[in-house]
Structure 1
Amino acid sequence: MSNPPFGFGIPDPDKRRDNEPSGSGGEQPSGADAFNQLGQMLSQLGQMLSQAGSSSGPVNYDLAKQIALQQLSASGKSELGFAPDGGKSGTAVRDAAHLAELWLDAATILPAGATTSVAWSARDWVEKTLPTWQRLCDPVAQRISGAWVEALPAEAKQAAGPLLSMVGQMGGMAFGSQLGSALAQLASEVLTSTEVGLPLGPATTSALLPANIEKFTEGLERPSSEVLVFLAAREAAHQRLFAHVPWLRQRLLATVEEFASGITVDTAALEQLAGQVDPSNPESIQEALSSGMLEPQNSPEQQAALSRLETLLALVEGWVDVVVAEAVGDRLPGADALRETLRRRRASGGPAEQTFATLVGLELRPRRMRAAAALWKLVGDTHGIDKRDSLWSHPDLMPRAEDLDDPMEFSERLGDGSGDELEGLDPIAELERTQRAEESGKSDEPKDDRRDG
C-alpha cells in the first residue's frame, strides 16, 4: 500500500512544529487539552459543514461531485468541445465500437457485453461513475470514520456527545473534498470507462472519452481513427468480461471491502491532529486535513486482500491485453506500438493507478499485468481460446498469484489431467448457471478445490 487512502498520510514533523500553538514549548498537549482543541476546531467548522451539502454516509458525495465539476469547469474540461449524445464524436465512437466487436468475435468465446456505445465528456464520466466510486470508497471511509471515535479516550467520548456527529460530518467533508479533486483529475485524463480495470460505468455500456483520446493521440504519429478503434476494442473486451463473468464484478468490489475492514489506526494520532491545529487559524485546519488525519497501520489481513485484488485485476488486464492483440492482429498497422504505449502508461503510474491508490489505498502492480498477459497467451496458444476463456466460468478455476510466477507449470497442469473438468464444458451455460447460483445465495459447486488433481 504505497499511497494511504483519503485523508490518511504521514504528518510532516517540521510542519507539526510550525503549527504548534504558541507557548507549547514544543510539547504535545495532554489528552484532555487535545480534545478541547479538537472541540474548538469542530465548532468553528460548524457553519462550513452546514453549507457543504448533506450526506448520510461516510463520504460527502454531494460535495465530491460539486468540487469535481467546478474544477473541470474552471479548467474548461467539463464539456470538452463535443456533444456527448450525438454529433461527430458520438458517431465515430459507435462506428469504432461496432468494428471492434466484429474483430473480437473471432478472438474470444465470450459474446459482446455492451448493448450501448457512447461518447462521454469529462462531466459525463464523473456523473456516470460516481455510484461505483461510492461502492469502492464507502468501506474505506466508513472504517476511517469509525477510527475517529475509536481513537477518542473513554472520557472524551462521554464528554463529546453531539460533537461526535460533527466529527463524522467533518470526515465526510474531508473525504468528499479529496474525492472530488481526484475525480476531476482522472476525468480529464482517462480514455475509457474501464481504464482503471474496474467496471466503473453503468452495466453493458461501452464508453469512450473522445477529447481525452484526442489529447492522448498527440505525438503518437498514428491516425486518430486507428487509436479510437484500438481503445474501443479494449473497452469492448472489458465489457465482455464484466457482462458474462457474473462473479467478477462482485469479487472485485468485495475484495476492496475486505481490505477496508482491516484498517486500524494509532490512537495517538488524534492528539497529533489536535496539536497541528490552531483553532483561531482556519488555514491550519485545512493544512491538518490535507496533510493527514490518522495514519493507517498495515495488517496481514490487508496484505492478503491486497494480493488477491492485485492478482485479479492483473488477470483482467492481462486477458484484455492478449485478446485485443489477437483481435486487431494485422488489421491495425500501429497495434503493437499502441499496445506497448498503453503498457508503459500503466507501468509509469498513470492517472488511473495514482488516483485509485489515493482513493482506496490500493495500487496495481503493472509487472503482474504483464505476467498475467504472458500466462493467458501461453494457455491460449497451447490449449486454444475455448479452454482459456472457460477458466473464467468459476473463480476456483482461475490462476492464482503463484501461477503468474510460473505460467508454464499452470499450462502443463491444465493438460496433464488436472484440468479435465473443463472438457466438454459449455462456457456460456456454466456462466449462466453460476449467475443463477449466486443470485439465489447458494452454489452448486462442490466444496473441494476443483483444481487439485
Structure 2
Amino acid sequence: MSDTPFGFNLPPEEPENGGDGKKKGEGRGGQGPADPFGFGGQGAGDNPFAAMFGSMNPGDLGAAFQQLGQMLSYEGGPVNWDMAKDIARKTVAQGTADGTKDASVTSGERAAVEEAVRLADLWLDGVTSLPSGSGTAVAWSRAEWVEATLPVWKELVDPVAERVGAAMGGVLPEEMQAMAGPLLGMMRSMGGAMFGTQIGQAVGVLAGEVVGSTDIGLPLGPAGKAALLPVNIAALGEGLGVPLDEVRLYLALREAAHQRLFAHVPWLRSHLFGAVEGYARGIKVDTSKLEDVVGQLDPTHPEQMQEALQQGMFQPEDSPEQKAALARLETALALVEGWVDAVVHAAAAPHLPSAGALRETLRRRRASGGPAEQTFATLIGLELRPRRLRDASRLWASLADARGPEGRDGLWEHPDMLPTAADLDDPDGFVHREHLDFSEIDKMLGEAARGKSAEDSKSAEDGKSEGGKGEQPGADGEGDDKK
C-alpha cells in the first residue's frame, strides 16, 4: 500500500540522476520540484497532461480523482469503514516490517490449531469452574482476522469519531454555519475518510502482531470461536528457544480461557464496552488544532487533516467523572487479563516446561504494546492495556488458594462482586476480607435455609392439625376469633 493519505497511488519517485542528466525532482525544463501529489509540475515538453500535472500520467490522474470523488461522496457514519477495510487489507498484503508475509492457512495448520484448543480446554477443565466457551476452533490468516474483527473496532471507534465530526462542524463561526452546508458535508466526508485511513492502517498493522482474537482483552471475534493466527504464532516463537508446539498450546490456553470468561459471564462484554464508551464520552477534542487545520483546508492536500489526527487531537477531561471512568476501564481490563493469566498458569505449569518463560514473555508483550496499539491510543485517546495485570493475577491466584476455583470464579456472577482498583492495591487484604465475608454469608444463608425449613415444617403440621379438626376454610382464622 502506498504511504500517501487515503491510499492515493502516486507516481514512482524519479531516479537521483535520470538518463537525461537532470537531478531528481526536476522536470524537463529543469524548473525545480513538482507540487505535492505531482500536481502542477513545471516544463512538460510536448505532453499537455504532463504540463498540467507534472509526472502524473492520465491513468494515474484518473484513478486519483476517482478515489477523491469516492471519498468526498461518502455519506455514511463518522468513519468510512469501506475505506478502512480496503486499506487494512492492503496493509496486510504488504507484510510486516520484518518481511513476514501473510499466507493462506494450510490444512496442517488448521488441524494443529484445533488440536491445541481441544487440549487446552481439557487442561482448563481442571483449574476453573467455568465450562468451555469454544464452540469451534479456527485458524485465521491476517486478512481473515481483519474481516472478522472490523465490526468490533466499529463499536470502539465510532463514539469518538462522532465527537470529532461534531467538533468539525462547530469550529466554524455561527453566522457561517447556515451558509456552509456543502462545506460541512465535505468536512464530514473528509473526516470519515481521515478516520477510515488511520483505522485501516492501524488494524492492518495490528493484524501482523496479534496471535488470536482476544489479545487486547476484548472479544474482537465472533462469540464461541477460539481463533489463532499460525503465521504470527510462528513469528512470535522465533528466538524464544521454545518448541513451536508449546508456544501454540500456551497461546491456545489463553484464547480458550478468554472464551470461557466471555461466554459464561454474560454481562462482561457490555461492561467492558460500556467502560470504553463512558471514557470516550469524556474526551474533549482540541478545537484550536482542528480550527488551524480547517482554516487551511485544501481538497488537494487531505494529508493536513491526517497529520493533525496522527499528532493527537484528544484530551481527556480532568474531571472526577473522567478519572472514575478511566479507573473502571483499567480495572476491568486488569481483572480480565489477570484472571486469564492466573488460570492459564495453573493449567500450563504441570504440563509445559516452558510455562513460566512463556508467561513472562506474554506479560511483557501485553504491558508494552506495539506500534499499532500506540496508533489507537492516538486515535481514540485510550490505551487498551491492563496496567495492573500482575496485581490482578496475584489476587485471583490467592483467591483460588483460599476459596478454590469455584469461590474465585463465583465473583464473576455480578460486577458489584468484583475487586475494585483499591483492592488491587492490597490483594491479600481483599482475599482475607472476602474469605471472611463469604464464610459469614454462607453461615447466614445456611441459618436462613434451616429456619425456613423449620418454618415450612411447622406450617405443614399446623395445616394437618387444623384440617383434622374439620374447620371450614375462611379468609382469616383470626377474624373468626374476633367474632
Same topology, TM > 0.5: yes
Match of 1:14 in 2: none
**Residue from 143, 154, 157 that aligns with 1:123:** 143
Kindly report which structure 2 residues correspond to 1:322-341, keeping only aligned pairs within 5 A, or say none.
322-341=342-361
Following superposition, the deviation at residue 163 of structure 1 comes to: 2.1
Kindly report which structure 2 residues correspond to 1:2-401, keeping only aligned pairs within 5 A, or say none.
48-52=67-71, 54=74, 56-75=76-95, 80-83=102-105, 87-275=107-295, 277=296, 279=298, 282-283=300-301, 285-292=302-309, 295-299=313-317, 300=319, 301-351=321-371, 353-401=373-421
3-state DSSP of counterpart to 1:207: strand
Kindly report which structure 2 residues correspond to 1:429-444, keeping only aligned pairs within 5 A, or say none.
none
CA distance in 1, matches of 2:201, 2:239: 27
CA distance in 2, matches of 1:91, 1:395: 37
3-state DSSP of counterpart to 1:384: helix
Q: Deviations over 1:76-121 (max 9, x none)?
A: 89972343xx500000000000000000000100000010101000
Distance 1:91 1:294, change over 3 A: closer
Distance 1:116 1:326, change over 3 A: same
Equivalent residue letter for 2:127: A
Q: Which has the larger radius of gyration?
A: 2
Distance 1:144 1:278, change over 3 A: closer
Following superposition, the deviation at residue 353 of structure 1 comes to: 3.9
Q: Deviations over 1:346-374 (max 9, x none)?
A: 22233564354244321145540111001
CA distance in 2, matches of 1:424, 1:317: 33
Distance 1:270 1:214, change over 3 A: closer
CA distance in 1, matches of 2:75, 2:368: 36
3-state DSSP of counterpart to 2:134: coil
Equivalent residue letter for 1:90: R
Match of 1:26 in 2: none
Equivalent residue letter for 2:207: A
Following superposition, the deviation at residue 287 of structure 1 comes to: 3.4
CA distance in 2, matches of 1:89, 1:55: 42
Distance 1:278 1:65, change over 3 A: closer
Following superposition, the deviation at residue 326 of structure 1 comes to: 0.4
Distance 1:71 1:156, change over 3 A: same
CA distance in 2, matches of 1:166, 1:279: 11
3-state DSSP of counterpart to 2:178: helix
Over the aligned positions, Cα root-mean-square deviation in angstroms equals 2.6
3-state DSSP of counterpart to 1:51: helix
For normalisation by structure 2, the TM-score amounts to 0.73
Instruction: Compare 89-98 and 369-378 and name the one that shifted more.
Output: 369-378
List alignment gaps of at least 5 residues for structure 2: 1-35, 37-63, 446-483
Following superposition, the deviation at residue 217 of structure 1 comes to: 0.3
Distance 1:143 1:291, change over 3 A: closer
3-state DSSP of counterpart to 2:227: strand
CA distance in 2, matches of 1:190, 1:359: 19
Confirm or deny: 8 A CA contact 1:145 1:171 kept in the other structure: yes
List alignment gaps of at least 5 residues for structure 1: 1-18, 20-44, 426-453
Distance 1:94 1:359, change over 3 A: farther
Following superposition, the deviation at residue 422 of structure 1 comes to: 6.6
Q: How many residues are matched?
A: 378
**Whose relative contact order is higher, 1 or 2, with alpha carbons under 8 Å and at least 6 apart?**
1
Q: Deviations over 1:227-256 (max 9, x none)?
A: 000000000000000100000001111111
Confirm or deny: 8 A CA contact 2:330 2:387 kept in the other structure: no
